[in-house]
C-alpha cells in the first residue's frame, strides 16, 4: 500500500513523546493494521530545546500551531486544558482532519460542539485516551455496549486520589501527609485541586455518562465532592467495618416523581473489601457497568502514565487512519435519549453515619428513632467510647435510601440535644 497519513502531534510531553516513539517503533505493524503508512510530519511544542522522554527528530518540532495543524490528515491533541487546545482542535476539525484527543476537560466542557464540527466537516473525533488511560471504556460504551441498556456505571478513574487514599489506608497517614507523599513521588501536582476535589473524575464521569445514556452530560452536570476532608479517623472507621474509602464516579438512571432521568456524581464512598472495586490500587482504574441484558461488566487497567495512555491514542490512530483510507466513520455523537439530569440527591444507596453522642442512657434509642421515623432501616449499629468521659461514637449503617432522605435525617439528628457532632456520612457502594 502506498497511502500515507500525515500526522501532527500537538504536545510532546509524557504521553505525546511516547506516541511519537511508538509510531516510529511499530511503523510496519501500524501500517498493516491501518492500511496506510503513519507519518509524523510535525510536533507542536512550546520550547524546541526542552528535554523529552523520547528524543524527537528536531526537524519535526515547531512552535507554530497553524503550521503544524494545516495540511495534517490526523491531528493528535495532547496539550490538555481548554485553551489553546480548543482553538487548535476546532481548526483541525474545520480543515476536515481527523482529531484524536486525550483532553478530558475539553471533551467534558465542549464535547457537543466538537462532535458537531466533526460531523459538519465529514470527519471523526476520537478520545479513548481522555478517560481511564489504557482502559478501552470509550470503545466499550460507544460501540461494545451499544445494543444494550446501561443502567449504572461506577468507576475509579483518578489515580492521584486513589494513591492518596491507599496511602492513608495502608500507613494510617493523615490526608495532608499522604498528599505530600503523592506530590514527592510525582503522583500529584503542585496544585492538586483538579484531582483531590474530584474535578478530573467529574470530567471523565461526564464523558462516560454521555456515552452510556445517549444524552449530553457536561462537566457542570456532575456534582463533585473531593477527598480533602477525609480524615485518618474516617479511614480507621472504614477498616473497622471491613470497608475502604475510594473516590468513585457514579452515573445512573433514576426516577424522580415518575420522570426518568440520570444522576451523575463524584464522591468518596465506603466500599466493602469484597467488592471488585476495593482492590483497585494505585495507578489502576476500573469501571463497572450494570446493564439490562449483559449484566455486570468490568473493565480494568492502567488509568494513567505515558505509555498506557499512548496505547489508547494509537488504537484511535489505527481506527482513524483506517476510516480515512477505507471509508466509514467513527460513531457520531449519540444524544437522542436527551434524558434530564436529576439532582444526585435522589440516587439511592446504603449509608454509614458516624455520630458523637452524649454518654447517657437512652441515647441510642433516641438516635435510632430518628431513622425509624423516616422509614430508614438500620442494618448495623456499633457503639464505642470515643472521648472518654465526654462522648460516645455511634456508627450506624442504613438500608438503601436517597441522599435527600438522608439529609432530612441528618438535620433532625443535628437538632437532637444528645448529638454532639455528626462526625461523618458516607454512601456505601455495593449491594443495597
Distance between CA atoms of 36 and 31, rounded to whole angstroms? Answer: 5
Residue 326 found at the interface with a second copy (CB under 8 A): yes
Residue 181 is a catalytic residue: no
Q: Which of 7, 134, 203, 219 binds a second copy (CB under 8 A)?
A: 134
Asked whether 1 and 31 are in contact (CB, 8 A), the reply is yes
Q: Which of 315, 348, 354, 395 binds a second copy (CB under 8 A)?
A: 315
Q: Which of 12, 65, 277, 313 binds a second copy (CB under 8 A)?
A: 313
Kindly indicate which of the ranges 18-26, 65-73, 88-96, 222-230 contains the residues binding a second copy, using the contact rule CB under 8 A. Answer: 18-26
Q: Is 13 annotated as a binding residue?
A: yes
Q: Which of 58, 295, 362, 388 binds a second copy (CB under 8 A)?
A: 295
Interface with a second copy (CB under 8 A), residue total 55
In 307-365, which ranges are E strands?
348-358
Residue 207 found at the interface with a second copy (CB under 8 A): no
Q: How far is CA 183 from CA 175, 248, 365, 422, in A?
A: 12, 21, 46, 31
Q: Which residues pair with 354 in a beta bridge?
A: 395, 424
Q: Which residue out of 181, 204, 259, 360 is catalytically annotated?
A: 204
- Residue found by looking up cell 496506510 in the block: 36
Nearer to a second copy, 88 or 139 (CB): 139
User: Residue 182 CB, nearest distance to a second copy (Å)?
Assistant: 20
Nearer to a second copy, 177 or 290 (CB): 290
Buried b (16+ CB within 10 A) or exposed e, 303-330: bbbbbbbbbbbbbbbbbbbbbbbeeeeb
Q: Provide CB contacts within 8 A for 344, sequence distance 6+.
A: 223, 263, 264, 265, 403
- CA count, 13 A, side-chain hemisphere, 228: 13
Residue 18 found at the interface with a second copy (CB under 8 A): yes
Distance between CA atoms of 313 and 78, rounded to whole angstroms? Answer: 10
Residue 299 found at the interface with a second copy (CB under 8 A): yes
The residue ranges that bind a second copy (CB under 8 A) are: 18, 22, 26, 29-30, 32-33, 128, 134-136, 139-140, 143-149, 214, 276, 291, 293-302, 307-308, 310-319, 322-323, 326-329, 331, 334, 336-337
Amino acid at each position: 500500500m502506498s497511502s500515507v497519513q500525515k500526522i501532527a502531534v500537538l504536545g510532546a510531553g509524557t504521553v505525546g513523546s511516547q506516541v511519537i516513539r511508538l509510531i516510529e517503533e511499530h511503523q510496519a505493524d501500524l501500517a498493516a493494521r491501518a492500511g496506510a503508512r503513519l507519518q509524523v510530519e510535525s510536533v507542536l511544542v512550546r520550547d524546541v530545546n526542552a528535554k523529552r522522554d523520547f528524543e524527537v527528530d528536531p526537524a519535526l518540532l515547531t512552535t507554530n500551531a497553524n503550521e503544524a495543524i494545516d495540511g495534517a490528515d490526523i491531528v493528535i491533541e495532547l496539550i490538555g486544558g481548554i485553551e489553546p487546545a480548543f482553538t487548535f482542535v476546532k481548526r483541525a476539525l474545520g480543515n476536515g482532519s481527523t482529531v484524536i484527543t486525550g483532553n478530558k476537560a475539553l471533551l467534558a466542557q465542549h464535547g457537543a460542539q466538537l462532535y458537531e464540527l466533526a460531523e459538519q466537516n465529514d470527519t471523526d473525533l476520537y478520545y479513548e485516551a481522555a478517560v481511564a488511560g489504557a482502559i478501552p471504556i470509550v470503545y466499550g460504551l460507544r460501540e461494545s455496549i451499544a445494543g444494550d441498556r446501561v443502567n449504572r456505571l461506577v468507576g475509579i478513574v483518578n489515580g492521584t486520589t486513589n494513591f492518596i487514599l491507599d496511602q492513608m489506608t495502608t500507613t494510617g497517614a493523615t490526608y495532608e501527609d499522604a498528599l505530600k507523599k503523592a506530590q514527592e513521588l510525582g503522583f500529584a501536582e503542585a496544585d492538586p485541586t483538579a484531582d483531590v476535589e474530584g474535578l478530573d473524575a467529574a470530567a471523565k464521569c461526564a464523558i462516560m455518562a454521555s456515552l452510556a445514556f445517549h444524552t449530553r452530560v457536561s462537566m457542570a452536570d456532575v456534582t463533585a465532592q473531593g477527598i480533602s476532608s477525609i480524615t485518618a479517623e474516617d479511614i480507621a472507621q472504614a477498616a473497622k467495618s471491613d470497608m475502604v474509602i475510594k473516590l468513585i464516579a457514579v452515573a445512573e438512571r433514576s426516577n424522580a416523581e415518575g420522570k426518568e432521568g440520570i444522576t451523575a456524581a463524584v464522591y468518596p464512598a465506603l466500599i466493602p473489601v469484597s467488592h471488585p472495586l476495593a482492590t483497585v490500587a494505585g495507578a489502576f482504574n476500573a469501571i463497572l457497568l450494570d446493564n439490562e441484558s449483559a449484566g455486570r461488566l468490568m473493565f480494568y487497567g492502567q488509568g494513567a502514565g505515558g505509555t498506557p495512555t499512548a496505547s489508547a491514542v494509537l488504537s484511535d490512530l489505527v481506527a482513524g487512519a483506517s476510516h480515512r483510507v477505507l471509508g466509514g466513520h467513527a460513531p457520531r455523537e449519540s444524544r437522542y435519549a436527551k434524558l434530564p439530569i436529576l439532582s444526585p440527591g435522589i440516587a439511592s444507596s446504603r449509608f454509614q453515619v458516624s455520630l458523637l453522642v452524649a454518654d447517657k442512657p437512652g441515647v441510642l434509642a433516641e438516635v435510632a428513632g430518628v431513622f425509624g421515623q423516616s422509614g430508614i432501616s438500620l442494618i448495623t449499629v456499633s457503639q464505642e467510647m470515643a472521648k472518654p468521659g465526654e462522648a460516645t461514637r455511634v456508627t450506624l449503617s442504613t438500608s438503601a435510601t436517597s441522599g435527600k432522605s438522608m439529609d432530612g435525617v441528618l438535620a433532625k439528628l443535628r437538632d437532637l440535644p444528645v448529638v454532639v457532632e455528626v462526625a461523618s456520612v458516607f454512601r456505601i457502594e455495593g449491594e443495597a
